[in-house]
Structure 1
Amino acid sequence: MTDSVFNLDFEKIAGEKLLQLMGERTPTSIALLDRNYNVHYVNDRLASTLAFSKDEICSKRCFELTGKDRPCPGCMMAKVFESGEKVVSMRRQTRKDGSAVVLEIHDVPVKKNGRVEKVIEFLVDKTRILEYRDRLEQDFLSLIDILAQLLDSKDAYTARHSRCVRDVSLALARKLGMPREEEFRMEVAGMLHDIGKVGVPWDILNKPGRLTDEEFEIIKVHSPRGAEMVARLDRFRDIGPIIRSHHERYDGKGYPDGLKGEDILWEARIISAADAFHAMASRRSYKDARDREYIKAEFLRGSGGQFDPRIAQAMLELLDTEELSDAGGW
């Protein structure tokens, strides 16, 4: 259904008979409702989508189909009656058999003498599209896991490192109230933050001691290189800047761009903290793994310097629980 149909001026068409004629000749689900939520008409497509008969739907008010005794809070149709403007929303709807569909709903006002008398709903079933998207994202995550394993096999230190940074980053993001719909981006960035290290010589990655200044300059290239690699994939284009900036510091003394404070992407600041956590919690050839109290002291000391103060505080709160025990090896 095109926008031109969604935007029809129904004040100028010849009533419900024309709507019914159009409704039975379109692949889009259609319903006509009044101010009291009574359903005056549904087409065959909508009845099939909801697994109710037309008579069952039209004998009830719309909210009663889902077993409710009153309209849903924030009902989009009510907003149309109030504003006189079209509203588009997404809704999860329970079918008669108990299964669910995800519907994109276009609520269009039907006016008489300038007053909204009824609302026509055009409903597009997005269930399969969303299921396909979810499966695709899981396939992406599986591929990312394989790439991370390849990277981990090159560098003895990064064995488990990518997964640990991902897990700690997600724990921090949730602690800080990141919306769940943004977690996929956080998860991918956490897994791929060091992907640019595939271009760093093995002997530098696994050197059993401190790097020379020249070697450190070579290591520093991995974040912009990783960003460039990821940016080649349209699906991950917005993840590249996170990877580029995960070694920036809140005080502006990081690399590669010397960004400071809020100029550093929020996700990059989170990954920076998770990366530092795992660096301290891991045993290296030249140092033992640090315990929980040592790591807490470092985040206290680095708050406002290396770390965003809010993220440092969230890390301290997580360290007072057992949530990071697996990642810390405690």
Structure 2
Amino acid sequence: MGVAIAFIGTLFLTKKENTFSISRENISDVIYNEARIAILALDSNGNVDSCNQYAQKLLGVNEDEQYSLTELFDCSEEQFERIMNGKKLAEHLLSVKTKISCNIQAVVSRDVYGDSYGVVLMATDATAEEKVMEQQILIEKTEHISDQLVHTLSKTIEAKDQYTKGHSTRVAQYSVMIGERYGYDKQKLKQLEYAALLHDVGKIGVADTIINKPGRLTDEEFAEMKKHPVIGSEILSEISEIPDVAVGARWHHEKYDGTGYPDQMKGEDISEISRIIAVADAYDAMTSNRSYRDCLDQEVVRKEIERGIGKQFDPEFARIMLEVIDADTEYRLHE
């Protein structure tokens, strides 16, 4: 804020005879009247020559009336002198009229000879700022707790499946890599990460004997396994704070051509996050060791992703996955 004050003190003041005011030629109406900062021009005696609309609201003053600094704020002589000398106050000042606690900063304005002809004072609502800070801290704590809960639940899923340890974490990693290349912002990437971490949560409802069977599943066992997307979406349906986390679980086995499960969704009717997770999930399945086979060669995996474009996978996200594969020249992205 100090830079902004100096900027105002340097450019926005106009001296006329023995008074000066905030120049309406050098400052836009948006900055002057819509800024959530009270801006006041004080003469060398501490009298208000002009102020913006927010100052009138914050301090309960009328621009047409005359006020001195000591009539606006409950301040001591020492505080008055510090303000008039452009020195920062460590403490808040209480508005006499509105009883609002204010943060105060000031800049001395000087003429070409270095003589002071007044002060630009800026005041903000300290109470409101503290509430914003408290809310921000609460938001950060809530996000941290959510992050811990999602990762804990993800590890619970993986503890149930001895053959796919780390699968959800890797799928989240690959999904975020796709999302970054696609242009997702930080918030969208976090939503994608959470959905990917929890995409297999429905496996909690599948028998351990099926989850941990060494070897391929029978048709009957596979039919049971195919229930996990629906189970997962039902478990996650109450988490409204994380958009798409439930559909990410339900539709990550849907295919772009409509031959997937459980709802035979097709094309862009499948949620975007689910289409990303589907590619990342398939990639990790092929690049992980299984009880019945080892991790596939990178070129084999690449050909499978390419073969699935427009069939199993969304063409855009499959092509981005191919870019990720091509950039991984040392084949590090595998279990």
Superposition TM-score, scaled by structure 2 size: 0.64
The answer for the alignment partner of 1:152 in structure 2 is 158
Q: Deviations over 1:212-254 (max 9, x none)?
A: 2221121111111111111123323642122111110001000
> Structure 2, unaligned stretches of length 5 or more?
1-33, 35-49, 64-71, 74-91, 110-117
The answer for the alignment partner of 1:53 in structure 2 is 105
CA 1:324–1:216 in 2, change beyond 3 Å: closer, same or farther?
farther
The answer for the alignment partner of 1:81 in structure 2 is none
Select 1:262's aligned residue among 257, 260, 268: 268
1:303 matches 2:306: no
How far did 1:130 drift? 2.7
Q: Could you tell me which amino acid in structure 2 is paired with residue 209 of structure 1? A: G
Q: Could you tell me which amino acid in structure 2 is paired with residue 132 of structure 1? A: L
Contact between 2:191 and 2:243, CA under 8 Å: does it hold in 1? no
Q: Deviations over 1:82-120 (max 9, x none)?
A: xxxxxxxxxxxxx9xxxxxxxxxxxxxxxxxxxxxxxxx
Residue-pair matches, total: 246
Structure 2 Cα separation of the partners of residues 133 and 289 of structure 1: 41
How far did 1:160 drift? 0.4
Select 1:136's aligned residue among 128, 135, 142: 142
Select 1:24's aligned residue among 35, 46, 59: 59
The answer for the alignment partner of 2:191 in structure 1 is 185
The answer for the alignment partner of 1:164 in structure 2 is 170
The answer for the alignment partner of 2:227 in structure 1 is 221
Secondary structure of residue in 1 paired with 2:327: coil
Q: Could you tell me which amino acid in structure 2 is paired with residue 183 of structure 1? A: L
Structure 2 Cα separation of the partners of residues 184 and 202 of structure 1: 30
Superposition TM-score, scaled by structure 1 size: 0.65
Structure 1 Cα separation of the partners of residues 307 and 250 of structure 2: 25
Q: Could you tell me which amino acid in structure 1 is paired with residue 238 of structure 2? A: R
Contact between 2:174 and 2:280, CA under 8 Å: does it hold in 1? yes
Secondary structure of residue in 2 paired with 1:269: helix
How far did 1:264 drift? 0.5
Q: How does 1:257-296 map to 2 (within 5 A)?
A: 257-296=263-302
- Larger CA Rg, structure 1 vs 2: 2
Structure 1 Cα separation of the partners of residues 210 and 327 of structure 2: 36
Structure 2 Cα separation of the partners of residues 17 and 321 of structure 1: 56
Percent identity, please: 34
Contact between 2:106 and 2:120, CA under 8 Å: does it hold in 1? no
Q: Deviations over 1:117-161 (max 9, x none)?
A: xxxxx9896343233212321221111111111111111122001
Structure 2 Cα separation of the partners of residues 327 and 45 of structure 1: 59
Secondary structure of residue in 2 paired with 1:227: helix
- Judge which range, 52-61 or 202-211, deviates more: 52-61
CA 1:19–1:309 in 2, change beyond 3 Å: closer, same or farther?
closer
Structure 2 Cα separation of the partners of residues 319 and 45 of structure 1: 61
Q: Deviations over 1:5-47 (max 9, x none)?
A: x9xxxxxxxx96996564136xxxx9x9xxxxxxxx9996899
CA 1:275–1:45 in 2, change beyond 3 Å: closer, same or farther?
farther
